[in-house]
Structure 1
């Protein structure tokens, strides 16, 4: 492994120590066990810095929209005249699969149902609660997460393909800090990137394992236990490691296209088997209210209601999760976006997944709320008894071919699991080999095993709660780095505009 940098060794040692800490029984460590310590850190971060996550995510939305209309929009992410490597369809499929596949399938029915029964404000289980539930689901999976991804991905692609810098987050900060960033501080930045990636992805892998297990349990009566989840992680680890070894143009490209086909098939089936008219009306009216209320939702805190944990449990968790995912998804999107203009890139990354996500929630969340509101299906009782991971299967069961659709959903979650983990091993390999676009298979293998081990330990320590805790902690230092990235990127754009102006004058 001659190509690896010291970031690889530092990150691998810290990750392995973290995994060992998680395995040590509580009886040995008492109050210093991982679950206790991380929960206390998370509580402190959410209480003291929740506002910081909120403002940071909104700042990335404003910055992304500004870039679309700015004079920098025509700059190409590559050499002048260079054309994109992938077609639009393949590009959208790859960025979507890496971006939030597992999460959409996990929360598509579960989140709107939760908000319907426990809304952020107003009375539960009313028509108003149903509208609010869908509006906040659009909000959590719409422009904000994709603006976080677009900001970092754009910076990485610009510096890598236009300025021939290494594909490292630390190299983006060179306009701000100069050559100093190539030393100790650069190592710290890249270590934080790797740490955030490991635990951001481990959260998603945990969600995937929980939901696959929940699907088998709900549809076929298999036990939904930690042992079953462990077996699922082991099987999927073998599959995604095999895919990772085949490289970007084979494994990830084909799986991403398969994901999109499966996702659209599942969505179209429920759209036409379910309450079609209701879903279309829900999508149209909710999209309008989402755009209308975007500014107020973006800055919504509850200073006069200290007992209201809704914003902390949902919005702040999501913003932290997206920021923790940004190094992984950003690096991956940058890698597949060479040759696009800034305007084309930001518009595509912001708008297409936001609209698709809104459709997804309208179909799955709309069907769930329709069953609850008009047919008294009481799905939430099933979900509360068995777990949020069963919401999708509880909804599919109410329609024709429910078992077939559940099998299709399990297959979809599995392929999303594989592409997310596959993409993450590539990104971790790239970040720990000095930005190499072709990291060695041995490096990807090490990161693949560490990722799966981290997901397993977090699941063992406390299921969903432990997974959410890991994301929130990992995101805090990286949010600061991302704000510095925005400043550095603007400095680089201004410098390039100045150089172009001078060339025109000559």
Structure 2
């Protein structure tokens, strides 16, 4: 497991991995055909499976999510924190500013726009405990929203990015999910059946997440066009939006990480920040700032409690148990399902960074903005509903979440212009995970090539096209919700892979630190007389 020597032979050219490519493609196509052919039966079965999983494995999800967070914090703070994703003398490929921008965009998708107003309002009307619509419910709503979008999810991304990047750049293994299992299964199994199985399932889980991303994104953008221009709420209009979004995402994916994705990340930050500042200063600024400080305090104060809170003492079969399955457990599985491609993308852009840099960057850079965004939009929505009696906003949050952000913005100055900007924000928010996801899917289904060499263009186009076709089929079959349920179910087995990543990382890092200490302690040879 040592670094490659200068005499290491050049890697083979990039080529398709037929086992991973065929296996993952078959999995997703079979699942899609079943969901389209038997929408009612599949939806019923998946609903029962999700309810069973929530009842039977809720305790496991809460424990393992807490373990991921504790592990990455421990690794960053320990003696392993100064190990690099690369050789000890290696320096980062991207500047700090470019790296931070791509970190920000990699895990923040259009879902943040979709849930910004709708999730706090949903928790306000349907809290897990307490009186609905009360002041306690309002305060709890932001605390729970922070929990779902907070540090736990980013810790999962940091774990996968760290595991894949560490073994790829420090131990010269392929930039793939399989590489992080090297200390546990050995070189032969890692390059054979075990590695193929992990990469195949990783592609399957990732594609599920990207399909839901495109589905949510198309609904969000089409709802905005419907509100702003009176675009008819029809399948033809939705199809046009999906095709337009997919075409632009494909072009960005083909242009690669260095050009398309980095430029989209910069545009993403500008548009996102501009919309946030507008809502902050055009609304009740002092109230929003006060709310932000209190929300952060509530979140930090309840971080340990909510990490392990299963609402055991509210009784079985209560609204708390149902809420837990619909929200917290769904979010934990959702983060896990996005971890393969987001983690691989983080690894791809973090070569030369230290372990401590990666963990702190992933946990803090996107998290800070996410919490401010949720607080500003969530408190603005709660104020409109509770003080100004914006009944249409509350109703939309429960029945048509994609429309809630636009109904919130209509209460602000220059609403038409601002809503138009928010549609553009949604479009760009969709693009950044979509194009980086297509690149990572293509990279997982190929073999050979340099560590930083991305897959050929045709393979990126294939995965982008497959995501588009699956999304269209599910949306038009009326069974898109079933795909979201599959995401939750698929998160369970992949969570076990992440546990194995922790064991493998700890074993490899301990050996590397010991080896480095021996090398540094070795006496420097003194040249003898000539």
TM-score, normalised by the number of residues in structure 2:
0.91
Counterpart-to-counterpart distance in 2, 1:299 and 1:225: 43
**2:311 is aligned with 1:302:** yes
Change (3 A) 1:107 1:142: same
Match of 1:497 in 2: 513
Is the CA contact 2:117–2:397 (under 8 Å) kept in the aligned structure 1?
A: no
TM-score, normalised by the number of residues in structure 1:
0.95
- In the TM superposition, 1:227-238 aligns within 5 A as 227-238=236-247
Change (3 A) 1:490 1:51: same
- SS class of match (1:375): coil
Is the CA contact 1:320–1:476 (under 8 Å) kept in the aligned structure 2?
A: yes
**1:55-107 alpha-carbon deviations (Å, 9 max, x no partner):** 22111111111122111111111222322222333222212222022111111
- SS class of match (1:49): helix
Give the CA deviation at 1:394: 0.8
Give the CA deviation at 1:423: 0.6
Change (3 A) 1:478 1:25: closer
Match of 1:193 in 2: 202
Give the CA deviation at 1:25: 5.9
- SS class of match (1:83): coil
Match of 2:279 in 1: 270
- In the TM superposition, 1:10-409 aligns within 5 A as 10-24=23-37, 31=41, 34-179=42-187, 180-303=189-312, 304-308=315-319, 309-383=322-396, 387-409=400-422
Counterpart-to-counterpart distance in 2, 1:503 and 1:485: 27
Is the CA contact 2:334–2:491 (under 8 Å) kept in the aligned structure 1?
A: yes
Counterpart-to-counterpart distance in 2, 1:485 and 1:112: 34
The alignment yields a C-alpha RMSD, in angstroms, of 1.8
Is the CA contact 1:153–1:331 (under 8 Å) kept in the aligned structure 2?
A: yes
Is the CA contact 2:283–2:412 (under 8 Å) kept in the aligned structure 1?
A: yes
Counterpart-to-counterpart distance in 2, 1:227 and 1:60: 43
Counterpart-to-counterpart distance in 1, 2:475 and 2:489: 16
Is the CA contact 1:199–1:454 (under 8 Å) kept in the aligned structure 2?
A: no
Task: Kindly name which structure, 1 or 2, has the bigger radius of gyration based on alpha carbons.
Answer: 2
Unaligned runs of 5+ in 1: none
Counterpart-to-counterpart distance in 1, 2:486 and 2:362: 26
Structure with more helix by fraction: 1
Give the CA deviation at 1:384: 5.4
- Total equivalences in the alignment: 501
**2:463 is aligned with 1:451:** no
- SS class of match (2:413): coil
Give the CA deviation at 1:482: 0.6
Match of 1:441 in 2: 457
Counterpart-to-counterpart distance in 2, 1:375 and 1:224: 29
Unaligned runs of 5+ in 2: 1-12, 523-530
- SS class of match (2:128): coil
- SS class of match (2:108): helix
Is the CA contact 1:206–1:467 (under 8 Å) kept in the aligned structure 2?
A: no
Counterpart-to-counterpart distance in 2, 1:4 and 1:133: 47
Match of 1:4 in 2: 16
**1:267-325 alpha-carbon deviations (Å, 9 max, x no partner):** 00111001111111111011011011001100111332322211111110000000000
Change (3 A) 1:292 1:464: farther
Counterpart-to-counterpart distance in 2, 1:282 and 1:348: 25
